[in-house]
């Protein structure tokens, strides 16, 4: 500068604040650019993440198969087939039941809708038949307007199918050559950092495995508890609602609300107010048992994530990638938290023993 003072005239506190702000802006720009490319390649991104989640779920099957002295490809194939059977079996069962009982269920739902309409019109609520018809028509028109374009729907279906096939392909090789892949990735790091990178990656993998196995157990307990209540109460579509409860449990917090609301609505339409209240009570009891017993016992000691963090992660994932983003948000946050905790720690992990 002309007066010769240069940057020395700027207070040191302001210079430090400017340096910190510049670093934050660079980091935010890098993260934003990474997220942009991941969203741009959404099918591939979702396929890789789904393969990692499924690999964490199916790794015990592959490991047990290898203990029987089977080759690596046989263990990977066993894990892949187990997954396909676990997914396809319930879907085939639900589809078969719905096809066999469709006419009976259609008549029951028609009768239930008429009964619900009479209760609303002739009940204590000040609702006239004309008002109810206008509300129903508005809902139908809104559903028609929001229905996807056939071409866009076909394109989305093709992307989902392609992502599913890529995920299964990656799953096979992750189960078969996972250790080799990880060793190659660790080898890309500087030699003096490899031990810490390896420890951080293994910590993140343990968090992912714990989350996936824990959420499967919680989903099974929810589905069994609520499904048993639906069967005892005599709610229509008990088996499909049970499967919906199991699938919805993979979306923390929001999934339980959606599945419970669907069960209560079907119970109200099929059996009236009494059945709806009984189902609501069963859903509340099961969800409370899950929140206060299963979640702290199964996941609390492993993930160490506050409910506010979980809600924020689910919301952000939903805004970025819809339902798929809501499913993968919490495990991604858990993995990033564990990896960053290990990398940020001042302790250097011990060197792994040399291979024999």
**Domain termination residue (choose one: 151, 169, 188):** 188
Identify whether 17 is part of a domain.
no
Q: How many C-beta neighbours within 10 Å does residue 196 have?
A: 16
Domain that holds residue 239: 191-347
Are residue 62 and residue 178 in the same domain, yes or no? Answer: yes
Q: Rounded distance, CA 90 to CA 81, Å?
A: 15
List alpha helices for the chain, DSSP H: 12-40, 42-67, 72-100, 102-122, 129-146, 150-187, 194-233, 238-248, 254-271, 273-289, 301-303, 307-344
Within 8 A by CB and 6+ apart from 134, the residues are none
- Residues 153, 222, single domain; the answer is no
Does residue 16 sit within a domain? Answer: no
Torsion 336-39-258-240 (CA) sign:
negative
Structure tokens at 244: 């919906």
Instruction: Say if 19 falls within a structural domain.
Output: no
Last residue of a domain, one of 156, 188, 220: 188
pLDDT of residue 354: 39
Q: What is the C-alpha separation between 47 and 170, in angstroms, rounded?
A: 8
Q: What is the pLDDT of residue 351?
A: 47
- Does residue 60 share a domain with residue 180? yes
Verify that 342 and 196 share a domain, yes or no: yes
For residues 144 and 229, membership in a common domain is answered with no
- Identify whether 167 is part of a domain: yes
Measured CA to CA, the distance from residue 87 to residue 84 in angstroms comes to 5
Does 326 map to a domain?
yes
Distance of CA 100 to the CA centre of its chain: 31
| CB distance 223 to 243 below 8 Å | yes
Below-50 pLDDT ranges, the chain: 1, 4, 349, 351-356
Domain co-membership, 218 together with 270: yes
Do 197 and 340 share a domain, yes or no?
A: yes
* Whether 247 and 115 share a structural domain: no
- Same domain for 173 and 200, yes or no, is no
Of the residues 188, 205, 233, the one at which a domain ends:
188
pLDDT score for 328: 83
Same domain, 166 and 264: no
As a whole number of angstroms, the distance between CA 259 and CA 278 comes to: 15
**Residue burial 10-45, b: 16+ Cβ < 10 Å; e: rest:** eeeeeeeeeeeeeeeeeeeeeeeeeeeebeeebbeb
Same-domain status, 140 and 218 = no
CB atoms within 10 A of CB 147: 9
> Residue 175: inside a domain, yes or no?
yes
At 267 the pLDDT is 83
Count up the domains in the chain and report the number. 2
pLDDT of residue 337: 86
- Domain contains 343: yes
For the range 324-329, what are the long-range contacts, defined as Cβ-Cβ under 8 Å and sequence gap of 24 or more?
324/46, 326/251, 326/254, 326/255, 327/250, 327/251, 328/46, 328/49, 328/50, 328/53
Same domain membership, residue 283 and residue 214: yes
The DSSP call for residue 306 is: -
Is residue 20 situated within a structural domain? Answer: no
Q: What is the pLDDT of residue 353?
A: 41
């Amino acid at each position: 500068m002309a007066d010769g003072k240069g940057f020395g005239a700027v207070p040191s506190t302001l210079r430090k604040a400017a340096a910190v702000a510049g670093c934050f802006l660079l980091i935010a720009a890098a993260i934003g650019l990474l997220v942009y490319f991941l969203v741009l390649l959404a099918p591939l991104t979702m396929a890789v993440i789904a393969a990692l989640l499924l690999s964490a779920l199916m790794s015990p099957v592959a490991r047990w198969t290898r203990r029987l002295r089977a080759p690596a490809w046989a263990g990977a194939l066993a894990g892949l087939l187990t997954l396909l059977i676990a997914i396809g079996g319930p879907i085939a069962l639900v589809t078969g039941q719905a096809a066999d009982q469709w006419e009976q269920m259609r008549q029951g739902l028609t009768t239930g809708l008429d009964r619900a309409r009479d209760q609303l019109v002739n009940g204590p609520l000040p609702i006239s038949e004309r008002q109810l018809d206008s509300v129903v028509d508005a809902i139908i028109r809104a559903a028609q307007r929001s229905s996807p374009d056939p071409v866009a729907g076909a394109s989305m279906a093709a992307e989902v199918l392609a992502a599913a096939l890529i995920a299964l392909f990656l799953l096979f090789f992750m189960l078969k050559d996972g250790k080799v892949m990880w060793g190659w990735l660790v080898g890309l790091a500087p030699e003096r950092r490899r031990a810490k990178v390896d420890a951080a990656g293994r910590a993140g993998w343990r968090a992912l495995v714990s989350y996936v196995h824990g959420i499967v157990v919680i989903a099974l307990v929810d589905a069994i508890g609520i499904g048993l209540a639906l069967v005892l109460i005599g709610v229509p579509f008990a088996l499909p609602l049970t499967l919906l409860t199991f699938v919805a449990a993979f979306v923390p917090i929001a999934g339980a609300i959606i599945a419970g609301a669907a069960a209560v609505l079907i119970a109200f339409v099929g059996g009236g107010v009494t059945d709806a209240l009984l189902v609501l009570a069963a859903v509340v009891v099961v969800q409370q048992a899950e929140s206060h017993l299963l979640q702290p016992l199964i996941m609390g000691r492993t993930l160490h994530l506050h409910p506010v963090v979980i809600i924020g992660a689910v919301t952000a994932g939903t805004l970025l990638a819809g339902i798929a983003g809501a499913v993968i948000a919490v495990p991604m946050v858990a993995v990033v938290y564990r990896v960053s905790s290990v990398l940020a720690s001042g302790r250097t992990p011990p060197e792994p023993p040399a291979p024999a």
